[in-house]
Structure 1
Amino acid sequence: MLWWAAALVVVFFLASASVWLAPPQSSVAAWWPASGVAVALALWTRRDRLPLTVLGIAVVTTLANIWGGRPWETAVGFGVANACEVVVVASFYRGASTPPGFSRLPDLGRLVLAAACGAGAAAVVAGVTVAGLDPSASVTMRAVFASHAAAILIIVPMTMAHLPTRGHASRQELVVQSVVLALVVGAVFGTKGELPLAFAPMPVLVWGAARFGVRIAAAQLLLSGIAMSLLTTAGRGPFPYAVASLDYPPETVGTLLQAALVASALVSLPVALLTDELAASLTRARTSAETLEGVMEAATQTAIITTDPVGNVTSFNAGAENLLGWTAADVVGHATPAWWHDADQLDRRASEAGMAPGLRVLVAPLEGDSASDRRDWVWRTRTGEELIVSLRVSPRHDAEGRRIGWLGIAEDVTRNRRAEQVLRSALDRERDAGQRLVELDRAKTDFIASVSHELRTPMTSVIGNLEMLLDDSLGATSPAQRLALQRTDRNARRLLMMLEELLLLSRVEDGTFDLRVRRTDLVEVVEQALHTLDVARGRSGVEVEIHAPGEQVELDADAEQVERAVMNLVSNALKFTPAGGRVDIRVRDEGATVSVSVSDTGVGIAPKDVDRLFDRFYRAPSAVREAVPGTGLGLSIVRAIAERHHGSVTVDSRPGQGSTFTVRLPTTQGDEPAPA
Structure 2
Amino acid sequence: MVGRLLAPHSAQGSAPAKALPWWMWILAAIAIFVLSQLSVLVTPQGGSVAAWWPAAGVSVLFILWTPRRQWWAFVLMVALVTGAANAVAGRPLAVSVCFGISNAIETGVFTLLLHYRLRHRLVLDRVSGAWRFTLATIAASSVLGVLVGTVLAQSASDAALLGAHAAASHAAAILLLAPFAILPPHIGQPTPAGEIVAQILVLTGILVVLATVGSGLPLTFLPVGIIAWAAFRFPIRAAYTETLIASVIVLALTVLGLGPFAGAGLTPEVSALLTILFIFMVASTSMFMSTASYQLRTAIRSARSTTELVTSGVVDSRVGILVVAQEGDAWRVLLSNTASRTIAGSEIDADRRWRAGPLLRAMAESLREGHLVTHSTPDGRVISVDASRIAGLAERVSVQFLDVTENARAVEVRIAAEQDRARALAAQLDLERRQIDFIATASHELRTPITSVTGYLELVEEAGELPAQSREWLAVASRN
**TM (normalized to structure 2)?**
0.81
Tell me if the contact between 2:152 and 2:159 (Cα under 8 Å) persists in the aligned partners: yes
Q: 1:7 to 1:191 in 2, by over 3 A?
A: farther
Give 3-state SS (helix, strand or coil) of 1:45's partner.
Answer: coil
Q: 1:196 to 1:342 in 2, by over 3 A?
A: closer
Partner residue in 2 for 1:425: 416
The amino acid across from 1:414 in the alignment is: T
Aligned match for 2:304, one of 275, 286, 292: 286
Q: 1:395 to 1:281 in 2, by over 3 A?
A: farther
Partner residue in 2 for 1:481: 470
Partner residue in 2 for 1:306: 322
Q: 1:142 to 1:395 in 2, by over 3 A?
A: farther
Q: 1:59 to 1:187 in 2, by over 3 A?
A: farther
CA distance in 2, matches of 1:284, 1:403: 29
Partner residue in 1 for 2:105: 84
2:194 aligned with 1:172: yes
The amino acid across from 1:362 in the alignment is: S
Give 3-state SS (helix, strand or coil) of 2:214's partner.
Answer: coil
2:235 aligned with 1:202: no
Aligned match for 2:143, one of 94, 103, 121: 121
CA distance in 1, matches of 2:115, 2:161: 30
Q: 1:196 to 1:489 in 2, by over 3 A?
A: farther
Tell me if the contact between 2:126 and 2:295 (Cα under 8 Å) persists in the aligned partners: yes
Partner residue in 2 for 1:36: 57
Tell me if the contact between 1:187 and 1:193 (Cα under 8 Å) persists in the aligned partners: no
Aligned match for 1:130, one of 119, 142, 152: 152
CA distance in 2, matches of 1:88, 1:365: 66
Tell me if the contact between 2:321 and 2:398 (Cα under 8 Å) persists in the aligned partners: yes
Aligned match for 1:259, one of 277, 285, 291: 277
Tell me if the contact between 1:103 and 1:164 (Cα under 8 Å) persists in the aligned partners: no
Aligned match for 1:317, one of 330, 337, 345: 337
- Structure 1 residues 411-438: Cα deviation after superposition (integer angstroms, max 9, x where no partner): 4332442343243234224324423432
Give 3-state SS (helix, strand or coil) of 1:341's partner.
Answer: helix
CA distance in 2, matches of 1:179, 1:403: 54
The answer to which structure, 1 or 2, has the higher relative contact order (CA under 8 A, 6+ apart) is 2
- Structure 1 residues 431-477: Cα deviation after superposition (integer angstroms, max 9, x where no partner): 2442343244334424433543454455344434433433x2x3443
Whichever of the two has the greater Rg, that structure is: 1
CA distance in 2, matches of 1:96, 1:286: 29
The amino acid across from 1:336 in the alignment is: W
Give 3-state SS (helix, strand or coil) of 1:30's partner.
Answer: coil
Give 3-state SS (helix, strand or coil) of 1:120's partner.
Answer: helix
- Unmatched segments (≥5 aa) in structure 2: 1-21
Partner residue in 1 for 2:26: 5
Give 3-state SS (helix, strand or coil) of 1:193's partner.
Answer: helix
Taking only aligned residues, the RMSD between alpha carbons, in angstroms, comes to 3.4
Partner residue in 2 for 1:642: none
Q: 1:266 to 1:161 in 2, by over 3 A?
A: closer
The amino acid across from 1:216 in the alignment is: A
Aligned match for 1:361, one of 339, 355, 365: 365
Equivalent residue runs for 1:391-410 within 5 Å: 391=385, 405-410=396-401
The amino acid across from 2:174 in the alignment is: I
Aligned match for 2:255, one of 217, 225, 233: 233
Equivalent residue runs for 1:439-588 within 5 Å: 439-453=430-444, 455-456=446-447, 458-470=449-461, 472=462, 474-491=463-480
Tell me if the contact between 1:304 and 1:407 (Cα under 8 Å) persists in the aligned partners: no
2:68 aligned with 1:68: no
Give 3-state SS (helix, strand or coil) of 2:426's partner.
Answer: helix
CA distance in 2, matches of 1:184, 1:89: 34
CA distance in 2, matches of 1:131, 1:34: 23
Aligned match for 2:167, one of 126, 133, 145: 145
Partner residue in 1 for 2:381: 387
Tell me if the contact between 2:78 and 2:100 (Cα under 8 Å) persists in the aligned partners: yes
Shift of 1:48: 2.8
Deviates more, 1:404-413 or 1:177-186: 404-413
Q: 1:112 to 1:377 in 2, by over 3 A?
A: farther
- Structure 1 residues 522-562: Cα deviation after superposition (integer angstroms, max 9, x where no partner): xxxxxxxxxxxxxxxxxxxxxxxxxxxxxxxxxxxxxxxxx
Higher fraction of helix: 2
The amino acid across from 2:352 in the alignment is: H
Q: How many positions carry a matched residue from both structures?
A: 454
**Percentage identity across aligned positions?**
29
Give 3-state SS (helix, strand or coil) of 2:194's partner.
Answer: helix
- Structure 1 residues 364-419: Cα deviation after superposition (integer angstroms, max 9, x where no partner): 576xxxxxx766433x5xxx63421345667767xxx7679555554433244234
CA distance in 2, matches of 1:90, 1:38: 11
- Unmatched segments (≥5 aa) in structure 1: 347-358, 367-372, 492-676
- Structure 1 residues 141-160: Cα deviation after superposition (integer angstroms, max 9, x where no partner): 22122111111112122221
**TM (normalized to structure 1)?**
0.60
CA distance in 2, matches of 1:130, 1:64: 17
- Structure 1 residues 98-143: Cα deviation after superposition (integer angstroms, max 9, x where no partner): 8642211222122112212221221122111222598832212221
- Structure 1 residues 172-193: Cα deviation after superposition (integer angstroms, max 9, x where no partner): 1111112222322343355431
The amino acid across from 1:46 in the alignment is: P
Tell me if the contact between 2:366 and 2:373 (Cα under 8 Å) persists in the aligned partners: no
Equivalent residue runs for 1:642-661 within 5 Å: none
CA distance in 1, matches of 2:283, 2:350: 49
CA distance in 1, matches of 2:121, 2:432: 86
Q: 1:62 to 1:42 in 2, by over 3 A?
A: same
Give 3-state SS (helix, strand or coil) of 1:198's partner.
Answer: coil
Tell me if the contact between 2:321 and 2:399 (Cα under 8 Å) persists in the aligned partners: yes
CA distance in 2, matches of 1:415, 1:95: 58
Tell me if the contact between 2:187 and 2:297 (Cα under 8 Å) persists in the aligned partners: no
- Structure 1 residues 293-348: Cα deviation after superposition (integer angstroms, max 9, x where no partner): 4445545xx25323135353233333444455659xx65751338556174xx3xx
Tell me if the contact between 2:343 and 2:401 (Cα under 8 Å) persists in the aligned partners: no
CA distance in 1, matches of 2:220, 2:404: 74
Q: 1:283 to 1:304 in 2, by over 3 A?
A: farther
Q: 1:320 to 1:166 in 2, by over 3 A?
A: closer
CA distance in 2, matches of 1:179, 1:48: 45
Q: 1:415 to 1:257 in 2, by over 3 A?
A: same
Tell me if the contact between 1:165 and 1:214 (Cα under 8 Å) persists in the aligned partners: no
Q: 1:71 to 1:117 in 2, by over 3 A?
A: same
Partner residue in 2 for 1:354: none
Partner residue in 2 for 1:50: 71
Shift of 1:40: 0.9
Tell me if the contact between 2:115 and 2:121 (Cα under 8 Å) persists in the aligned partners: no
- Structure 1 residues 498-544: Cα deviation after superposition (integer angstroms, max 9, x where no partner): xxxxxxxxxxxxxxxxxxxxxxxxxxxxxxxxxxxxxxxxxxxxxxx
Higher fraction of strand: 1
